[in-house]
Amino acid sequence: MFTQTLDMTALASTKIWWIPVPVTCRLIKAHLAVETAITTADSGITLTDGTNIIGEITGTFTASAPGDVHEMVRNATTLGKVELGPDLPIKVDCDDAPDAGAGMLTLTFDEFHAGD
């Protein structure tokens, strides 16, 4: 098991990150820790392999404050069984709904169950 972090300084703009993954694995958890309050609307973050949705995180703006943590909800179809690896990076897609907000995204991967 290993983790990677992504500094999401611009939750208020449409942004896509492709994050390389060093070994064949699956994303098993993802958490967004709010650093700057999310305002106006919820922030939607979609995690995929570029094709298949692994899960989504909704950073809610209601009473948003630094230190709030939002957890990924797994996609009901793929159930976390999407393989990632050296040739299959993870795609992090952030919408532009809020007017402001920033956070740190932590991704937890498990290579033990890859290929099952």
- Residue 21 CB neighbours (<10 A): 22
Q: Is the pLDDT of residue 50 over 90?
A: yes
Instruction: In whole angstroms, give the CA distance from residue 9 to residue 2.
Output: 23
pLDDT confidence tier of residue 71, bands split at 50, 70 and 90: very high
Tell whether the model's pLDDT for residue 19 goes beyond 80: yes
What is residue 60's DSSP assignment? -
Which residue from 53, 69, 59, 14 is spatially nearest to 38, judged by alpha carbons? 59
Distance CA 93, CA 46 (A): 5
- Does the pTM exceed 0.75? yes
Domains detected in the chain: 2-110 (2.60.120)
Q: What percent of the chain has pLDDT over 90?
A: 65
94 has pLDDT over 80: yes
Q: What's the pLDDT at 116?
A: 61
